[in-house]
């Protein structure tokens, strides 16, 4: 379901808490990806500019643009020139911890809605309905090095690009009434409350916190549950990495636009009975 990583030239707008624009959320749905920003040394602070790209400082260090992991012309055997960002992030913004926990807000009546999708079809279903994650959003991030060198993932920071009143839309549950759900216990699981004035990731019980190490042969998968009740929030993540004398930041978002998660308190809620032909008010399905 997750699309390949894209390195875009712009970050999600804002970074503040006001609704001073659309925050990029009206752009067409694209592949989930990451924007790269690199600092030349571990002691240098990443630039705060929101228009950095992988070709900036990384290519300044390697004028000949030698591919990472290959030896430049005239270099002694075994000597490699490191260029480019040494880590990639693949984001799946519409992953499900379980169908029972996944809901979407949609600005359409129940009679115009398609049946719930399976998880693999969630991204297309969301795009077709203009849906927004309801109550919480479950992200799966796959982080992998691009070469044999070890890359330290120093942390993930939550950035809010916009915050508004919750959406006054209908709330659709993905679970079928009467069908049991279960979720696995992940070893790299984090949660964040987007209602907080300064949202930050907290490891789930029994999980370790950053830093972690990755390489091309040893990727990591992080699972993030972002919850919200009082707002409609545009947000994204900044992943800080370091490798040897280099460090940088990757902005992780939904294909060049922020993730979007809205509270659903008091909204009309609907469910789809197994074998049924349409959505009905939640809690009205008769179970055998």
Query: Alpha-carbon distance 8 to 36, whole Å?
Result: 8
pLDDT tens for each residue of 168-224: 999 999 998 877 786 666 789 999 999 999 999 999 999 999 999 999 999 999 999
Which one, of 214, 212, 194, lies nearest residue 145 by Cα?
214
What is this structure's pTM? Answer: 0.74
pLDDT score of 123: 97
Q: What are phi and psi of 99, to 5 degrees?
A: -60, -30
pLDDT tens for each residue of 88-110: 999 999 999 988 889 999 999 99
């Amino acid at each position: 379901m997750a699309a390949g990583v894209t390195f875009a030239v712009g970050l999600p707008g804002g970074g503040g808490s006001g609704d001073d624009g659309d925050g990029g959320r009206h752009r067409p749905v694209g592949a989930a990806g990451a924007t790269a920003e690199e600092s030349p040394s571990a002691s240098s602070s990443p630039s705060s500019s929101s228009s950095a790209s992988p070709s900036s400082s990384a290519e300044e260090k390697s004028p000949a643009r030698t591919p990472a992991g290959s030896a430049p012309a005239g270099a002694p055997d075994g000597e490699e020139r490191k260029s480019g960002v040494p880590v990639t992030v693949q984001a799946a913004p519409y992953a499900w911890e379980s169908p029972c926990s996944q809901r979407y807000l949609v600005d359409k009546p129940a009679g115009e809605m398609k049946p719930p999708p399976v998880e693999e079809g969630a991204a297309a279903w969301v795009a077709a309905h203009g849906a927004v994650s309801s109550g919480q959003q479950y992200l799966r991030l796959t982080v992998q090095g691009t070469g044999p060198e070890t890359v330290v993932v120093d942390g993930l920071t939550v950035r809010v690009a916009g915050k508004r009143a919750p959406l006054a839309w209908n709330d659709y549950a993905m679970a079928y009434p009467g069908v049991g759900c279960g979720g696995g216990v992940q070893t790299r699981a984090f949660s964040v409350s987007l209602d907080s004035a300064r949202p930050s990731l907290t490891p789930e019980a029994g999980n370790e916190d950053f830093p972690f190490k990755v390489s091309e042969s040893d990727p990591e998968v992080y699972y993030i549950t972002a919850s919200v009740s009082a707002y409609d929030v545009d947000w994204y993540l900044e992943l800080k990495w370091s490798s040897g004398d280099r460090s940088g930041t990757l902005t992780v978002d939904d294909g060049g636009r922020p993730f979007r998660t809205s509270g659903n308190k008091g909204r009309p809620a609907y469910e789809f009975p197994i074998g049924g032909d349409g959505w009905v008010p939640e809690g009205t399905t008769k179970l055998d």
